[in-house]
Amino acid sequence: MTGLGGLNKSKHGVVLGLVQLQLPIIETPAQLAAQTQRICDMVAKARRNQSTMDLVVFPEYSLHGLSMSMAPELMVTLDGPEVAAFKRACVDNHIWGCFSIMEANPGGNPYNSGIIIDDTGAVKLYYRKLHPWVPVEPWEPGNLGVPVCDGPKGSKLALIICHDGMFPEMAREAAYKGAEIILRTAGYTAPIRHSWKISNQANAFSNLAITANVCLCGSDGSFDSMGEGMFCNFDGTVLVEGGGRPDEIITAEVRPDLVREARTGWGVENNIYQLYHRGYVAVKGGAQDCPYTYMRDMLDGKYQLPWPVEVTDGTSCGFDAPTRSYQP
């Protein structure tokens, strides 16, 4: 059930719009300003498109394009004019919005960040991408964890960005912290199509969560982003799936109340609970240990794969090998 894409909104429903935004070319501050306005215009289109919509979601790189430029004059701050414009667009159109920015970082490479703004213009969630798409992306690894915020209609929202969604631990962390709807924004191109689909479904099913996922769309003359917005229900089924048409807004009504019901009442496949309560039929409360070597090794700072890895920096993609160590 999607309420005919949200046209028929139920009492407990949250209507989301995923914008398959045309991949832009951003090389100058003037182009950045024009793209900021274009995104704001698309917020207004989303509101005109569907009066029931609660939240409109823009893809990763929707403001900056896929050039991977770290030019200081193109980087954005939370108190800068771009974010201010996004806030005004949400207020003017009485809608929540999820936006992508490449964030200036005086201490190193820029962050690939995302924000969720409510319909009063307040930033409700601020996230820095934990897993840049190495070796292609030059961004600083995120340092804000995986935040969760209160969303429209009493929902709980999280945001993960593109490559983040390929790590089961990311969606698991979001759900563990209470997220019922996990947004995933991306700039992926066609070679990732299959991995995109199965990971969006797996992230939903493994965590009894709704996933709402969208990529940039169209070509900038070099890259071809694939669009393919998709909503996955908490049982892993695809509710709505977009194609490859730029600027199409894919919509659905989702039901966080049914997520809560499943998380509370499911026995079979309530995996986020059963992860830490193994075999509770056999032993009271289940086994509450950590049998996973990689988890313990990460915590102890001795994570080591039992095979060699050849690509360990960005030199194959034209970036200098880094000399700084990560400072948590």
Sheet holding 249-254, edge to edge: 123-128, 111-117, 96-103, 55-57, 14-19, 249-254
CA quadruple 41, 119, 241, 244: dihedral, nearest 10: 20
Q: Which residue out of 40, 60, 149, 173 is catalytically annotated?
A: 60
3-state secondary structure of 261: helix
Catalytic status, residue 11: no
3-state helix, strand, coil in the chain (%, to 5): 30, 25, 45
For residues 153 and 53, the answer to whether their CB atoms sit within 8 Å is no
Catalytic status, residue 129: yes
Token pair belonging to 241: 């799936």
For residues 159 and 126, the answer to whether their CB atoms sit within 8 Å is no
Distance set, CA 121 to CA 2, 92, 95, 124, 127 (Å): 27, 9, 9, 9, 17
> Side chain identity at 115, as an amino acid letter?
I
3-state secondary structure of 162: helix
| Residues paired with 214 in a beta bridge | 185
Tokens 């199409």 — which residue?
Answer: 248
Q: Which residue out of 90, 98, 149, 162 is catalytically annotated?
A: 162
For residues 128 and 142, the answer to whether their CB atoms sit within 8 Å is yes
Q: Which residue out of 129, 137, 173, 228 is catalytically annotated?
A: 129
For residues 182 and 41, the answer to whether their CB atoms sit within 8 Å is no
Alpha carbons 112 and 140: distance in angstroms, whole number = 8
Alpha carbons 157 and 111: distance in angstroms, whole number = 21
Catalytic status, residue 215: no
Residues taking part in catalysis: 60, 129, 162
